[in-house]
Structure 1
Amino acid sequence: MQWDVPGRAVREVQIMTTSDPFPPSSRVLPVPPPPRWAVGAAHVVAWSTVPSGVWRVALVLGVPVGVMEREEFLVAFPHNSVLIALTYVLLIGAVAEATSYLTLGLVQPWGEVVPRWIPVLGGRPVDHRIAVLTASLGAVSVTFLWWVLFFGGLLTSPSPDPGISAGEALFVAAYAPLLMWGPLLAAVTWSYHRRHKTRP
């Protein structure tokens, strides 16, 4: 109770609302906006898996890609089934693109608060420590996968032809964007971590 004039009291009434399902301690504190370079890098990562996915689909559909013929690729599937092969490459592409798309969460609002349409967790703040740990492990994993295992294996494998054909150039052009995935994800993760360290 506080007094504004002699002999007259004004009561302070605290109104408790029930519309907010989370207590103040669980609400997200404001963080600085992501720098433009981080936003751009996150979008590059999100698109880096698309060219290789299109290349694989083209291979299964019989489009000449130069490196191998469709029949060579179909040998690995039961009854040389085009349907099974197409399902396989579409699934691989969907997983890769969904994983790379998650990088946008490090520069978007849904990287701070779980979207409300997600059951159970919707509307809850994202634990930035878990996000940083997960993204860091992802950056290390995809860097090792594409830099060491994939392109490292290509460079060290024997080739009967010292030159580079048009088909091989197309193949490299389709898969080369994947080399940016790990380093750019690491950079965006670092930016996300820095922004949360400076949060008031």
Structure 2
Amino acid sequence: MMKTSLRGEDRAPAVPGRFRAAWRAAHTPVPGVSRRTQALALAVPFTVLPAGLWRLPAAFDSGIGIGERLYIVFLSLFSEAVAFTAIGLVARWGEVVPSWVPVLRGRRIPPAAVLVPAALGATALTFLWSVLALATEIMGTTIRGDALPADFPSRVGGWMAVSYYVCYTPLVLWGPLLGVLTVAYGRRRARSERHARTA
């Protein structure tokens, strides 16, 4: 009985230990990444999180259908997952395929395979959130050019408008931060390529 309980105690921390190891593997920066660059990468998911949390209560609104509910939840989760990929620009899994990926595990990722989608993403996100969303908000129109409805959060006023601006304003930083991280990633990979050739 004593041996069984001890073995059970030994096994208990396995899950937290695995989670901690996975967390470190996902977030630990590779050599050559400055603390500032690491901080910028860790900040990206937090520029998206407030908007996702702000949207989620709408999924429980009694006036919408199941399809809209699922879309709201999916959009929030998908946006956060896309934002998390910014951490790959400073972590090992952005340079080498992780061990849990079948067939490709352990293979070096060509810099262009990361730089091209990251640069396109940074450009699109900057245009969408830092330019287009800001311009339409100032002009009081939707992206399509229609007038904002009276029940739009920024038009309602009060706490609804305050919470909307507080939660959506950080999205303005998403594209520019991703752009800075993309440039830093490209420079770091170019340096490592040069070092590999000279070695």
TM-score (norm 1): 0.70
State, as a whole percentage, how many aligned pairs show the same letter: 32
Q: Is the 8 A contact 1:32 1:195 kept in 2?
A: no
Number of aligned positions between the proteins:
154
Structure of greater relative contact order (alpha carbons < 8 Å, 6+ residues apart): 1
Give yes or no for the alignment of 1:40 onto 2:39.
yes
Q: Does 1:126 align with 2:115?
A: no
User: Counterparts of 1:64-79 in structure 2 under 5 Å?
Assistant: 71=63, 74=64
**What residue is the counterpart of 2:134 in the other structure?**
151
Alpha-carbon shift at residue 86 of structure 1 (Å): 2.1
Which residues in structure 2 correspond to 1:20-169 (within 5 Å)? 32-62=31-61, 71=63, 74=64, 81=65, 83-157=66-140, 164-169=157-162
CA distances 1:27-66 after superposition (whole Å, capped 9, x unpaired): xxxx74211111111111122211111111112324xxxx
How far, CA to CA, are the matches of 2:155 and 2:102 in structure 1? 55
CA distance in 1, matches of 2:155, 2:58: 24
| Aligned counterpart for 1:191 among listed residues 164, 175, 184 | 184
Q: Which moved more, 1:135-144 or 1:83-92?
A: 83-92
Q: Which residue type is aligned with residue 171 of structure 1?
A: Y
Structure 1 portions without partners, runs of 5+: 1-30, 63-69, 75-80
Shift of 1:136: 0.7
Deviation at 1:197? 1.9
Q: For each residue in 1:44-91, what CA deviation from the matched residue of structure 2 results, as whole angstroms up to 9, or x when unmatched?
A: 1122211111111112324xxxxxxx74xx3xxxxxx2x322211111
Q: AA paired with 1:40?
A: A
Q: Which has the higher helix share?
A: 2
1:176 paired to 2:184: no
Give the Cα separation in 2 of the matches to 1:162 and 1:33.
47
Q: Deviations over 1:159-186 (max 9, x none)?
A: 7899952211100111111111000001
Q: CA deviation at 1:190?
A: 0.9
Deviation at 1:119, TM superposition (A): 2.3
- Give the alignment's Cα RMSD to 1 decimal: 2.2
Please give the alpha-carbon distance, in whole angstroms, between the structure 2 residues aligned to 1:33 and 1:112.
13
Structure 1 residue 129: Cα displacement: 2.1
Decide which structure has the larger Cα Rg and report it: 1
SS in 1 for 2:102: coil
Output the amino acid matched with 1:61: F
